[in-house]
Amino acid sequence: MATNPTTIGLVFGGHSGEHEVSIRSAVTVLSGLCSGTNVQRYEVIAFYIDRDGRWWGPDLANRVLATRQPIDPPDPLPPKGFRSLPVDSEAVEIWYPVLHGPYGEDGTVQGLFKLMRQPFVGAGVLGSALSMDKLAAKTVFANANLSQVPYVGLHSSDLTDPYQRKIIFDHIETKLRYPYFVKPANLGSSLGISKVRNREELEYGLTSAALLDSRLVVEEGVSARELECAVLGRDSLKTSVVGEVHFDADWYDYDTKYTAGLSSTVIPAELPENVSQRIREQTLKACVATGVIGMARVDFFYNASTDQLWINEINTLPGFTSQSMYPMLWEASGVTLDQLVHRLVQTA
């Protein structure tokens, strides 16, 4: 056991639609870092990034963690244009980002830490950026021979010209069968995603998604179970048991994910061992292909009647809320919360 505790900089909030979820995740991570033998191992300094991208030190950050609510706008406001790191950041030895979505999960804050030449928890710049962008990830998955549902990728500029727009829509309807899922390429937690069943809904879904991101994905809907597997490690990645998400909604949208009682999990998932093994193998294959280390949750679709398995996506900063699969998958694999966050810090 270390004589002097290591100082951890816990960063949460962020300029993202997942701001509130980040706060809830940070509360859980903080609990793990302050539990068991971690009390002697670590000293945690909390940093809050508000919705405008301003960094705040522990005074305001601890208030946000205590209330579990954003402070908008923070009081008192900093000088106009204030974007520098708080003074307390100079004491940080290892950074622990709990920032979901853009500006936290996409390689940007990871690049900042690398420029600062300081270690941090989670995937690096490349793995984060590739996994965050659904179109880029799909290209990597295809090159790794990982099966995916049929999809079409496009740019928002394809929708501006009426003639080009019609060509794109005709192409989508020729290649894919309704229903579709329309997605912004660079948002997480199902934000901005819509399920569409005809051309009118497709047009509305793409127009709405284009307001959130210029890169867009249209996927063919499939009848499948939603399965997830977690990874942990650095030089040698380990996989958790496989879990399954159950829900009564038409699909697994943002509200269903984060509203208590609207979804449930089965861990481990009731699957033949050979299917679970295929998922674990493909999880590692996907992480190697994208350069992901540290932690991630890899999501799959599975049709039992055809034994078809499709990879869906990689989440390099998965949620740590009470309803989040990542910590639950590891708990079911024999790793408690305090052990989990300790191991994650060791991968930094």
Task: Evaluate whether 45 touches 91 at the Cβ level (below 8 Å).
Answer: yes
Sign of CA dihedral 245, 120, 290, 238: negative
CATH number at residue 275: 3.30.470.20
202 within a domain of the structure (yes/no): yes
Tokens of 114: 């690398």
> How far apart are the C-alpha atoms of 185 and 242, rounded to whole Å?
25
The domain boundary, picked from 220, 238, 257, lies at 220
Asked if 138 and 230 sit in the same domain, the reply is yes
Question: Is the pLDDT at 187 greater than 90, yes or no?
Answer: no
Asked if 233 and 109 sit in the same domain, the reply is no
Asked if 143 and 252 sit in the same domain, the reply is yes
Asked if 196 and 283 sit in the same domain, the reply is no
pLDDT digits (tens, 9 = 90+) for 59-104: 999 999 999 999 876 666 665 555 678 878 899 999 999 999 889 9
Asked if 306 and 157 sit in the same domain, the reply is no
**What is the mean predicted confidence (pLDDT) over 322-343?**
96
> Which of the four pLDDT bands, split at 50, 70 and 90, describes residue 191?
confident
Cα–Cα–Cα angle for 253, 257, 258, nearest 5°? 125
> Which of the four pLDDT bands, split at 50, 70 and 90, describes residue 1?
very low
Buried b (16+ CB within 10 A) or exposed e, 73-96: ebeeeeeeeeeeebebbeebbbbb
pLDDT digits (tens, 9 = 90+) for 236-291: 999 999 999 987 655 555 555 545 566 689 999 999 999 999 999 999 999 999 99
Question: Is the pLDDT at 188 greater than 80, yes or no?
Answer: no
Asked if 181 and 256 sit in the same domain, the reply is no
> Which of the four pLDDT bands, split at 50, 70 and 90, describes residue 205?
very high
Task: Evaluate whether 42 touches 5 at the Cβ level (below 8 Å).
Answer: yes
Please give the distance of CA 16 from its chain centroid, rounded to a whole number.
12
pTM of the model: 0.90
DSSP string, 82-134: --SPPGGGGG-SEEEEE--STTTSSSHHHHHHHHTT--BSS--HHHHHHHHSH
DSSP string, 26-57: HHHHHHHHTSTTHHHHEEEEEEEE-TTS-EE-
pLDDT at residue 250, as a whole number: 58
- Whole domain around residue 315: which residue ranges? 132-147+223-346
CA nearest to 130, candidates 112, 113, 116, 144: 144
Asked if 310 and 332 sit in the same domain, the reply is yes
Give the range among 147-151, 195-199, 280-284, 320-324 with minimum mean pLDDT.
Answer: 320-324
> How far apart are the C-alpha atoms of 96 and 10, rounded to whole Å?
5
pLDDT digits (tens, 9 = 90+) for 281-331: 999 999 999 999 999 999 999 999 999 999 999 999 999 998 899 999 999
The domain boundary, picked from 201, 220, 239, lies at 220
From the CA atom positions of the chain, what is the Rg in Å? Answer: 20
Asked if 212 and 233 sit in the same domain, the reply is no
To the nearest whole number, what is the mean pLDDT of the chain?
91
> How far apart are the C-alpha atoms of 293 and 301, rounded to whole Å?
22
> How far apart are the C-alpha atoms of 348 and 53, rounded to whole Å?
24
In the chain, how many domains are there? 3
Of the two residues 186 and 98, the one the predictor is more confident about is 98
CATH number at residue 109: 3.40.50.20
Asked if 294 and 330 sit in the same domain, the reply is yes
Q: Is 36 left (phi over 0), alpha (psi -120 to 50) or beta?
A: left
> CA separation (Å) from 199 to 173, 178, 184?
8, 9, 18
Of the two residues 188 and 27, the one the predictor is more confident about is 27
127 within a domain of the structure (yes/no): no
Please report, to the nearest 10 degrees, the dihedral formed by the alpha carbons of residues 144, 312, 131, 252 taken in order. 180
**What is the mean predicted confidence (pLDDT) over 134-140?**
96
DSSP three-state, residue 227: strand
pLDDT at residue 88, as a whole number: 81
